Amino acid sequence: MPSTFPPLELINRDTSILAFNERVLSLAQNPNYPLLERLRFLCIVSSNLDEFFEVRAAPHVEAMRDDIRQSDINVQSYQAIAEDAHLLVAKQYHILNNELMPALAKQGVHLVSHGDRTAAQRRWVSKYFESDVRPLLVPIALDPSHPFPQVANKSLNFIVALSGQDAFGRSNNIAIVRVPRALPRLIQLPKNLSDKQQKFVSLSSVIRAHLASLFDGREVLNFSQFRVTRHSDLAVDEEDVKNLRTALRKGLVQRNFGDAVRLEVSHACDEKLAKFLLQQFDLPKQSLYRVNGLVNLARLMQLADLAEGSHLKFKPFEPKISQQLVPNQSIFSQIKQRDILIHQPYESFESVIAFLREAVNDPDVVSIQQTIYRTGSDPRMLKLLQEAVRHGKEVMAVVELKARFDEEANINWAEALESVGAQVVYGIVGLKTHAKMLLVMRREGAGYNGKTTLTHYGHVSTGNYNPRTARLYTDVSMLTADPKITRDMEYLFRHIASQVKLPRMQNLLVAPFNLHRQMLGKIKSAELAAKAGSAARIILKMNALTDEALVVALVKAGRAGVQVDLIVRGACILPVDAPGLEGRIRVRSIIGRLLEHSRVFYFKVADVESMWLSSADWMNRNMMRRVEISWPIADAENRVRILQECCQLSLDDTQDAWQLLAGGEYQPVSSLARKNHEHVFSAQQALIQQYAE
């Protein structure tokens, strides 16, 4: 980088993650969204924050605990992040208590506190407590023989301060009540007690109302619900374990009891009780979050699921089969004619299911190979692969056991496939297999000496093989019979399974081998073209941009005159106000009804265009510690379609778009559009309407 520019000051990644959640939280205040959907977005922020603390907070808490000041992660960095997190949480509860719940009450949906219950409702709740709750509660009074109990990650608990003495005459005045996870967190009151409305009670309020009955002969002086979040990133030394699956199963148990990183208590929690809990979990005071409501807002998602009312939810839209597929015709024969794009969720994931089903039922198909990362609870793909084995086909599944928070589901998949005789491999030691590939080999035609030949058909995707999230996430996938792409897929599957040297790829870019280098090279080509006076344009769409080398390369390209548009949903560490950019790099984030998940990399240098889709975000972990793929879009018509639907519409969006400003702040584009009396336009809504027509 030229010496005339000062060192590049990148945006803090953790700050950027919290800023993303601030944008998601804004949807909970969107008056154009139905109320229960607004509540969902509030709950999503809680789930996101849980993961943030579970994965990102431990080094910061350790730095605070050890008073570290001379490193990138130190006391000051943690204090800044904690301040942002506390403000975000406070805003969550303000929106919940002052906007969403009052508005839902006007629509006949109530979360009824103990103080607001009628006598009949209290009697019903009391019976429910006695029959369903009390038998599962075992209060633990703390004394030398009953030390502070193990508290599982994100579990609901109560701490209680008691007066008097126990049955043995001892003054143990602190008790812990653990709430079993088997109990539902929301309970709907019977219709005859709800005045023709929908009324619910929270489990925490049910227990709180009957807490004193758990301690006969003693007085409850103070109490609070509490919840501790623990570091949950599994660390397994793959080089040192004989059976990764067994090691991960053990690790899943230990995950619930990792180091504490956050403590949530009721806003009125007694100061002594709060201090006692902080000491028990060895947490600094910045890790204490006093909340005005349920300590786990993510569980309010049950209210959005249980409450009824079409006017309270998004109008559903039914994804169509891919517009490039002809119904009731062989998908194999159609793929031979051209590459077929599927733009989810506007087009249905059922096209992928249909492709796999045809492969399973086709007697000429001899082999099916697939990567498994996050599959969800829909069992259809698992059952199809099992059926393929029973039909005598060779089935190989590359199951990523280390997919964060999906480890147990993937272990179950692996065992289910192995039980019928499928070949299951777990990827490469030290790398996560994040590539999304499905490869089918089929005997066709008369080849050499009149024998049939193997024809390859493939499916590659920017998103997971998960039918549920395929209705909520925007992704682009492609069905192809391109021999260069499918041959590369075969080589990559063989490399993952047998760990032989990966041959030279003809079309696929593969991390950690050449994807990072190739992307740096394409940015450099644009930079050199701009310096030579040629037009150069880069448009990138992804979920996160945190790889420093790629960020530095983009800044250099921008300073050389390349126009760079970045559509980054989540964390982005690139400072758009860096000296010398002069507005040539623009960063926007689309936060709307659907979760933007597709990865599109477009380069135009002079008159030469190239476009790549990918499973990888531009993060160091994706480029260096994962097996990822990126594939070219050779068909000009498909390039135009992707550029328009995934990129240009997002750049035109004035409703769901946020613009990154100087200092790392994001501004909603809609505020500027309304100020200028411009038409407000949503890319997602436009695509929903376009595909519906």
Burial status of residue 545 (CB atoms within 10 A of its CB: 0-12, 13-18, 19 or more):
buried
Count CB atoms within 10 A of the CB of residue 326: 12
Q: What is d(CA 460, CA 638) in angstroms, rounded to the nearest whole number?
A: 15
CATH classification of the domain holding 172: 3.30.1840.10
Total domains, the chain: 3
Does residue 169 have a pLDDT over 90? no
Tens of pLDDT, residues 419-472: 999 998 887 777 888 999 999 999 998 655 667 889 999 999 999 999 999 999
Tens of pLDDT, residues 179-235: 999 999 999 999 999 999 999 999 999 999 999 999 988 889 999 999 999 998 655
Residue 44 in domain: no
Residue 367 in domain: yes
* Predicted TM-score (pTM) above 0.85: yes
- How much is the pLDDT for 404? 61
Higher pLDDT, 677 or 475: 475
If asked whether residues 483 and 523 sit together in one domain, one would say no
Residue 98 in domain: no
Tens of pLDDT, residues 627-679: 999 999 999 999 999 999 999 999 999 999 999 999 899 999 998 777 776 78
What is the pLDDT confidence band of residue 412, given thresholds at 50, 70 and 90? confident
| Active-site option among 60, 210, 231, 434 | 434
Residue 102 in domain: no
Residue 6 in domain: no
Q: What is d(CA 525, CA 532) in angstroms, rounded to the nearest whole number?
A: 11
The structure tokens listed for 644 are 């328009």
What is the pLDDT confidence band of residue 239, given thresholds at 50, 70 and 90? very low
Look up residue 607 and give its amino acid.
Answer: D
If asked whether residues 225 and 132 sit together in one domain, one would say yes
If asked whether residues 414 and 302 sit together in one domain, one would say no
- How much is the pLDDT for 406? 61
- How much is the pLDDT for 236? 46
Residue 551 in domain: yes
Average pLDDT over residues 77-92: 94
What is the pLDDT confidence band of residue 377, given thresholds at 50, 70 and 90? confident
- How much is the pLDDT for 62? 86
If asked whether residues 577 and 682 sit together in one domain, one would say yes
Q: Which of 254-268, 289-303, 471-485 has the lowest mean pLDDT?
A: 254-268
Average pLDDT over residues 113-128: 96
Task: Write out the H or E segment, with its range, that includes residue 422.
Answer: none
Which of the listed residues 506, 534, 560 is the one where a domain comes to its end?
506
Q: What is d(CA 109, CA 656) in angstroms, rounded to the nearest whole number?
A: 28
Q: What is d(CA 192, CA 32) in angstroms, rounded to the nearest whole number?
A: 33
If asked whether residues 476 and 517 sit together in one domain, one would say no
Residue 19 in domain: no
- How much is the pLDDT for 203? 97
Does residue 405 have a pLDDT over 90? no
Look up residue 339 and give its amino acid.
Answer: D
Which of the listed residues 312, 343, 370 is the one where a domain comes to its end?
312
To the query of whether residue 86 is one of the catalytic residues in this protein, the response is no
Which of the listed residues 445, 476, 506 is the one where a domain comes to its end?
506
356, 382 in Cβ contact below 8 A? no
Tens of pLDDT, residues 5-35: 899 999 999 999 999 999 999 999 999 999 9
If asked whether residues 485 and 528 sit together in one domain, one would say no
Higher pLDDT, 406 or 294: 294
- Scan for tokens 């087009």, then name that residue: 347
- How much is the pLDDT for 4? 83
If asked whether residues 476 and 519 sit together in one domain, one would say no
- How much is the pLDDT for 500? 86
Average pLDDT, the chain: 91
If asked whether residues 495 and 422 sit together in one domain, one would say yes
Q: Is the dihedral of CA 483, 487, 488, 489 positive or negative?
A: positive
CB proximity list for 89: less than 8 A, separation 6 or greater: 49, 289, 291
Alpha helices by DSSP H, listed for 397-514, are 407-420, 483-498
609, 647 in Cβ contact below 8 A? no
Residue 59 in domain: no
If asked whether residues 491 and 527 sit together in one domain, one would say no
Does residue 123 have a pLDDT over 70? yes
If asked whether residues 147 and 259 sit together in one domain, one would say yes
CB proximity list for 459: less than 8 A, separation 6 or greater: 352, 355, 437, 438, 439, 477, 478, 479, 480
Q: Tell me the backbone φ, ψ of residue 273, rounded to 5 degrees.
A: -65, -40
What is the pLDDT confidence band of residue 361, given thresholds at 50, 70 and 90? very high
The structure tokens listed for 76 are 């000051």
What's the chain's length in residues?
Answer: 693
If asked whether residues 373 and 500 sit together in one domain, one would say yes
Does residue 90 have a pLDDT over 80? yes
Percent of residues, the chain, with pLDDT higher than 90: 76
| Residue 88: strand, helix, or coil | helix
Tens of pLDDT, residues 501-549: 899 999 999 999 999 999 999 999 999 999 999 999 999 999 999 999 9
Tens of pLDDT, residues 555-578: 999 999 999 999 999 999 999 999
Does residue 253 have a pLDDT over 70? no
Beta bridge partners of 224: 159
If asked whether residues 421 and 495 sit together in one domain, one would say yes
Average pLDDT over residues 313-339: 94
CATH classification of the domain holding 461: 3.30.870.10
The DSSP bridge pattern shows strands 608-614 and 600-605 to be antiparallel
* Domain range for 452: 331-506
